[in-house]
Amino acid sequence: MARVETSSNRPYHLVIFGASGFTGQFVVEEVARTVSEGPKGNLKWAVAGRSRQKLEKVLEQAAAVLSKSELRSEVDIIVADVEEPDSLAAMCKQAVIVLNCVGPYRFYGEPVVKACVENGAHHIDISGEPQFLEGMQLNYSSQAADKGVYIIGSCGFDSIPADMGVLYTKDQFKGTLTAVESFLTVGSGDDGGCIHDGTWQSAIYGFSDGQKLQSLRRKFNHKPLPSIGSKLKRRGSLFFSNEIQQYTVPFMGSDPSVVKRTQRFLVEEHQDKPVQYGAYAGIGGIGNIIKLMFAGMMFWVLVKFSFGRNLLIKHPEFFSFGFFSKAGPTRKQMDESSFQFAFYGEGYTDGQDPSQGKPNGKICTLVQGPECGYVATPIAIVQAALTMLNEPTALPKTGGVYTPGAAFAKTTLTDRLNKHGGRRENVQKIINKDLTVYS
């Protein structure tokens, strides 16, 4: 049986690996803000990375942002490099949980997971790369279970809001929820918004390697999930969504993969009924469709060749119409940005048999939060870690490789996220007759 041992003689509850990265620096700030939420109101933590100098600077910057005179006296520095296994082992031996912010994970992730499993540290990451996430599940599940270690992937904006949002919607529905579609919309202020180059690189390598993901999935040899209720129809690759009143495309991130893995876990471990899931993202009006088609076509062509990938990596701003940039968003852009997920679910109300006829109930849940990549993501990974530390008995009984929904379904993670920047409104309405109306 796995237990998160918070009173062990490991010096740190949390070690932030990759603390000097664009995202890592905001994770550092978020941990510094929440130390009082650690076990017994205290959190022992350290920052780690390959450059001591950069880590010193990150701590100085975080202290300035939080109006503290300094952080260095309460936060230690660990020098560790993915290329040096001994340094990773030494880091992992000192941590109860490693928060891994070093990406692209397809290149740098596995040695860190391996070192955590071998040295008894739990591991939480913010990867949005299904190939890495599912590969770790395939290769490390049984070793992690033997060692009593939790390896929990995709604990950032990819894919905590989607995974926990589906579970929340299911909990709120009075009956058997059988299908959910989510619609993501992102808002920004006058300066617009953008995403840092680190995520752009992860996406480039992910798309260029799509076929490997298919062959990896075959290795699991999964049985199809039981089909409960009407089959959820896939929408087209571009459509006008009445739900969010704008043009919409299928969401290309890790959410569908993560939600499906969570549903499989709940079916296999808890004999739950699975929820079918479709993920979509709003893109706005006609102008954006033209930009997206143009950028998408260039991307699909270039990503196939190493010359093209190099071009994409060198010029993120140009090839993404400014949506990705080497500098990342400014603090003002981040402060003025936000996201909303609308989850539209359908199912069979209490007393109705899901194997008979069409769904007779609908539900809509809204999940709202701050800027996705560098405000919501640090909040999500830090709250995931604090949940592990504070609620060890609510985690799955054995160690293993888990999605956020599988790991945190029985915890208060959703409430913690609400308290820290998410706004969640349940606008459930069960409609028995008129299936076309949501409110």
Ligand X SMILES: NC(=O)c1ccc[n+]([C@@H]2O[C@H](COP(=O)([O-])OP(=O)(O)OC[C@H]3O[C@@H](n4cnc5c(N)ncnc54)[C@H](OP(=O)(O)O)[C@@H]3O)[C@@H](O)[C@H]2O)c1
- Which residues lie near ligand X (CB under 6 A)? 18, 20-24, 49-51, 54, 81-83, 101-105, 108, 126, 128, 156-158, 196, 198-199, 202, 373, 377
DSSP-derived pairing of the beta strands 95-100 and 175-187: unpaired
CB of 103 to ligand X, least distance (A): 2
The residue with tokens 């990451």 is 125
Could you give the strand order of the β-sheet that contains 246-250, starting from the edge strand earlier in sequence? 239-241, 246-250, 276-284, 175-187, 338-349, 361-370, 423-426
CA distances from 250 to 140, 173, 183, 243, 311 (A): 30, 25, 9, 14, 26
In the three-class reduction of DSSP (H, G, I as helix; E, B as strand; rest coil), residue 374 is classed as helix
Our CB check for ligand X shows the closer of 91 and 395 to be 91
Our CB check for ligand X shows the closer of 137 and 199 to be 199
Distance CA 126, CA 392 (A): 21
Our CB check for ligand X shows the closer of 49 and 400 to be 49
Our CB check for ligand X shows the closer of 24 and 347 to be 24
CB of 20 to ligand X, least distance (A): 4
Our CB check for ligand X shows the closer of 87 and 398 to be 87
Our CB check for ligand X shows the closer of 140 and 157 to be 157
Say which DSSP state 356 is in.
Answer: S
CB of 380 to ligand X, least distance (A): 8
CA distances from 174 to 67, 141, 266, 267, 360 (A): 47, 34, 18, 19, 11
CB of 308 to ligand X, least distance (A): 20
Our CB check for ligand X shows the closer of 160 and 389 to be 160
CB of 133 to ligand X, least distance (A): 11
CB of 414 to ligand X, least distance (A): 18
Our CB check for ligand X shows the closer of 127 and 263 to be 127
In the three-class reduction of DSSP (H, G, I as helix; E, B as strand; rest coil), residue 57 is classed as helix
Distance CA 86, CA 105 (A): 19
Beta strands in 144-243 (DSSP E): 150-152, 175-187, 195-196, 239-241
CB of 126 to ligand X, least distance (A): 4
CB of 347 to ligand X, least distance (A): 29
Determine the residue type at 158.
Answer: D
Our CB check for ligand X shows the closer of 16 and 43 to be 16
Helix (H) / strand (E) containing 368:
strand 361-370
Among the listed residues 365, 364, 359, the one whose alpha carbon sits nearest the alpha carbon of residue 432: 359
Tokens, residue 32: 């510094």
* Helices (H), ranges, 3-51: 22-33
CB of 377 to ligand X, least distance (A): 4
Closest residue to bound ligand X by CB: 103
| DSSP states along 400-431 | EEE-HHHHHTTSSHHHHHHHTT-EEEE-----
